[in-house]
Amino acid sequence: MKNELKYKRILLKLSGESLMGDKGHGIDPKVLTFFAKEIKKIHNIGVQIGIVIGGGNIYRGLSAQDQGIDRVTGDQMGMLATVINSLALQNACEHEGMHTRLTSAIQMNEIAEPYIRRRAIRHFEKGRIVIFGAGTGHPYFSTDTAASLRAVEIEADAILKGTRVDGVFDSDPEKNPAASLFSEISYLEVLKKNLRVMDMTSISLCQENNLPLIVFNMNKEDNLLSIVNGDNIGTTVSHLSVEEETNK
């Protein structure tokens, strides 16, 4: 282990679908336990951790209109799904001995604190993991955008987006075995190539605030630990120099 952490405060973004494991829906307890153990490894070395998790394993707001539900209502249902997942991950982390706080962008005082930036930062300083539920609290914004927004607000060193593939590819690696992995790519190129790493709003927020985004395989043991220690895991999305842009 290196003496100096590369990332001391991170925002970990997880998809709701990642919690399904081999199931077709819902939450796989084995996945929850694995994620909690991986998070504990970086918590134990002093990394301050914020987490945003999606709700796609329970409900996707974008599919609401196909079911005759208006978009605003569908997105509100999706926000509630993220809180269910956040509670599940909170429980798994606390079973591993970590202290956590669940905050919510919409009021639900019996189960979560209201999101207050200064309070969240104080939790980090006290060694607590902060899970940000309910997205941004507004319809039409994804949990990707919520992750970028919260990361900027808490002054995170980077967003770490855990996926089930090894990083950003030029095409879908699950459909194209010959897909090429980018070790590094610029925000602009992600937008130009429409690589769907995160939605346009979230990528733009990262770009405007010079916030690095690392996309990596969360299902591989010790990947998270290696990243905060400075190892080149997955794909780093950031500003590249003019020379690097020219050579691409």
pLDDT in tens, 140-188: 999 999 999 999 999 999 999 999 999 999 888 888 889 999 999 999 9
Domains of the chain listed by start with CATH number = 9-247 (3.40.1160.10)
pTM: 0.92
Give me the DSSP letters along the chain.
--SS-S-SEEEEEE-GGGGGTTSSSS--HHHHHHHHHHHHHHHTTT-EEEEEE--TTT--GGGTGGGT--HHHHHHHHHHHHHHHHHHHHHHHHHTT--EEEEESS--TTT-EEP-HHHHHHHHHTT-EEEEESTTSSTT--HHHHHHHHHHHTT-SEEEEEESSSSEESS-TTT-TTPPEESEEEHHHHHHHT--SS-HHHHHHHHHTT--EEEEETTSTTHHHHHHTT---SEEEEPPPHHHHHH-
pLDDT in tens, 31-87: 999 999 999 999 999 999 999 999 999 987 666 667 789 989 999 999 999 999 999
